[in-house]
Amino acid sequence: MVSHLIALAGREGADRKLELLRMANKCHETALHEAVRAEEKSMVKLLMDAYPGLANYPVNGISPLYLAISLRKDTIAVTLYKMSGGNLSYSGQEGQNALHAAVLLATVMIEELLKWNKGLATQVDKHGSTPLHFASSRSDFFIRRRLWIRIPIYWPLNIVAKVFEANPTALYQADNSGLFPIHVAASVGATRTIEFFLQESPNCAGLRNAKGRTFLHVAVEKRRQEIVSDFCKAPSMQWILNMQDKDGNTALHLAMERKMVNTCCDLLANEKVHLNLSNVKGQTPLDLSRINLPRGMHYTMNSESKMHQALELFGAKHNCLRCDHIEEKYERPLDQEEEKKQSDMIKDATKMFIVGAVLIATVAFGATFAIPGGYKADDHLNGGTPTLAGRFIFDAFMMANTLAFVCSTVGIISLVLSGTSMVDMSTRRMNLAASFFLLSSSVISMTVAFALAAYLVLAPVARSTAIAIFVISPLPMLYRHLMDGIHIWLLVIRAQYGRKRPIGIVLMKFASLVFWFMVWELWPVVVTFAWAGFARREREHH
């Protein structure tokens, strides 16, 4: 039918035939576009035979070649080029050309396009992006959607290399937003692409975008921690670590603003990173960390608090302020609205905590009268008493269960006071903090009681299972404390070691951390087994 229509138009003259072939729909597409989209190779050949210059239409917009490449129809793209004799349009949407599309889709047409027209590598779209910008925007990793697994892939680097060889100057060409290809690579976490750029031209590390930021700034800004971790350790990158953007912020400033703990520790681990540089507002990283601290009552194990403590530990300073002026600047009293928010926060926390406290108290109370091993029969000596009484593990179980009950009960009293509006705010805060400590202690005591009870009844008949349960039971405690910040302190200690602090001092700080953790958090365990040991000693003495 198409051949008949072309023949009929040809009878009316060559102009009429060209008019029919060039006719476009509302999307400014000719019949050739429809043939490409439908992947009708014979139809493409028919239309191109009728008019080889048809691949040049429309003059501005999506060309048939761009459409073929964007749809991954490589065979049709080659057909268009051959039948047009190379006289075809490469234009695409938003000022792009066919190479932009080929790079973005990582098709095999990249090499062919560069053979046909090497100048495509120098053209920019309406955003000022060269094909090298597009190549740089491809990440080094493919993320499986369901399993969330990061699998390294290497073909994006080959694409970058091909486009770079066609136009090396594009590495120093910024788009309309002031971003160079190395900034684009940093924003998507393309580590290998950045390595390639630095290998080809080390000076590109110092390129700044419209905000005066290097690729290291951009990596922090886009939360690409792996970029910062890899390149802040490289000796060749030391000259950009302390570069400041137009606002005077270094990469460390930005990491503090965004509360990126791991990134901050990576930067702190490099002794070349200055800790006391001020931005245009006169703020050092320590000032920014102090600003990030929540006002009023807050959880002291939050990342903001840990980052502030870490900077102080490293000797960071505020910007030329006396100590009393620092307190005046940051320790402002809460206004009426903030006081109301604090009150609502305490009330919400009280409702949540009291459920757990009541549950633990109930379970501990019930466990007292449903002890492992049961009771002696009434016709025996000391009838009605526990059959396992007098054993070390039993004494430890009873003490752990008692501590769980007592801590949760006292915690309930503290929570009642913290949730009562008639109590003044300072007392409510104090009681909420005390209840959190007591609730944490009751959870630890309940965990110990469970492990001891399971071991007590299983050890005589299934010792391996009893030991396995005893070892697995502390996992809830470890999980909470790992989430609370032990890993943060480990990162800080590692950073101190990276700054070449004496290993003895680093180990002492780590030992001090472990000691105070055990004293503050594991005191129920100490009391439980200390009492069991004391009870055994008293029995042996008598």
Question: Pseudo-torsion of CA 125, 127, 133, 139, nearest 10°?
Answer: -120
The type of residue at 272 is K
Cβ neighbour number for residue 514 with a 10 Å cutoff: 12
Q: Using an 8 Å Cβ cutoff, are 115 and 84 in contact?
A: no
CA distance 333 to 309: 22
| Cβ–Cβ under 8 Å, residues 205 and 198 | yes
- How does DSSP assign 302-356, residue by residue? SHHHHHHHHHHHTT---SS--HHHHHHHH-PPP-HHHHHHHHHHHHHHHHHHHHH
Cβ atoms 1, 46 nearer than 8 A: no
Asked whether 73 and 39 are in contact (CB, 8 A), the reply is: yes
pTM for this one? 0.76
pLDDT of 424 reads 85
Task: Reduce the DSSP state of residue 152 to 3 states and report it.
Answer: strand
Q: Which two tokens stand for residue 35?
A: 């043939």
**What CA–CA distance (Å, rounded) separates 249 from 257?**
10
Structure tokens that stand for 85 in this block: 């004799």
Give the burial string for 177-203 (b: 16+ CB within 10 Å, else e).
eebbbbbbbbbbbbbbbbbbbbeeeee
| pLDDT reported for residue 501 | 60
Cβ neighbours around 159 below 10 Å, total: 22
Kindly report the CA angle at 209 between 205 and 214, in degrees rounded to 5?
Answer: 35
Identify residue 222 by its one-letter amino acid code.
Answer: K
Q: Do 63 and 71 form a contact (C-beta atoms < 8 A)? A: no
What is the residue extent of each domain of the chain?
2-241, 341-541
Length of the chain as a residue count = 542
Strands 141-143 and 150-152, by their bridges, are antiparallel
CB 297 within 8 A of CB 425: no
Reading the block at residue 157, the tokens are 């680097």
Walk along the chain (542 residues) and give the pLDDT tens digit of each residue. Answer: 999 998 898 888 888 888 899 998 988 899 999 999 998 899 999 999 999 999 998 878 899 999 999 999 999 999 999 999 999 999 999 999 999 999 988 888 999 999 999 999 999 999 999 999 999 998 764 433 333 344 444 445 688 999 999 999 999 999 999 999 999 999 999 999 999 999 999 999 999 999 999 999 999 999 999 999 999 888 899 999 999 999 999 999 999 998 888 888 889 888 899 999 999 998 999 888 888 887 766 666 677 777 787 787 777 888 776 666 666 667 766 667 777 887 888 888 898 889 989 999 999 998 888 877 777 776 676 666 777 777 888 889 999 999 999 999 999 999 999 888 888 888 888 998 899 889 989 999 999 999 888 888 888 888 888 888 888 887 776 666 555 556 566 666 667 666 666 666 656 766 776 677 677 778 888 899 998 888 888 877 76
- The DSSP bridge partners found for residue 151 are 142
Q: What does the pLDDT read at residue 98?
A: 95
Distant-in-sequence, close-in-space partners of 230: CB < 8 Å, separation ≥ 6:
191
The candidate with the shortest Cα–Cα distance to 278, out of 288, 269, 270, 268, is 288
Architecture of domain 2-241: Alpha Horseshoe (1.25)
Question: What does the pLDDT read at residue 412?
Answer: 94
Question: Where on the phi/psi map is residue 282: left (φ > 0), alpha (ψ -120 to 50), or beta?
Answer: left
Q: How much is the pLDDT for 90?
A: 95
pLDDT of residue 426: 84
The per-residue pLDDT for 149 is: 44
Contact 106, 156 (CB under 8 A): yes
